[in-house]
Amino acid sequence: MRSFTKGINPNLHAFSSPHISYHLFTLSLYFIALLYRFTSYFYFMFLIIL
């Protein structure tokens, strides 16, 4: 049983590690896009107020 989990564990770790980094990458991209949209929106409102 121990050798079975030992054999399965590296594959699981190799699969989950890029998967998590990929999710973090897409999340950061989404956050940057959201931030850019909010800053452009506030800049537009600032131009309208001025």
Separation in Å, CA 26 to CA 22, 34, 38, 42:
6, 12, 18, 24
Q: What is the pLDDT of residues 1-50, one digit of tens each?
A: 555 555 555 555 555 566 777 888 888 999 999 999 999 888 888 888 87
pLDDT score, position 49: 82
pLDDT score, position 20: 72
Domain spans in the chain, listed from the N-terminal domain onward: 1-50
CA angle 26, 29, 33 (to 5 degrees): 140
pLDDT score, position 33: 92
pLDDT score, position 46: 87
pLDDT score, position 21: 79
pLDDT score, position 10: 56
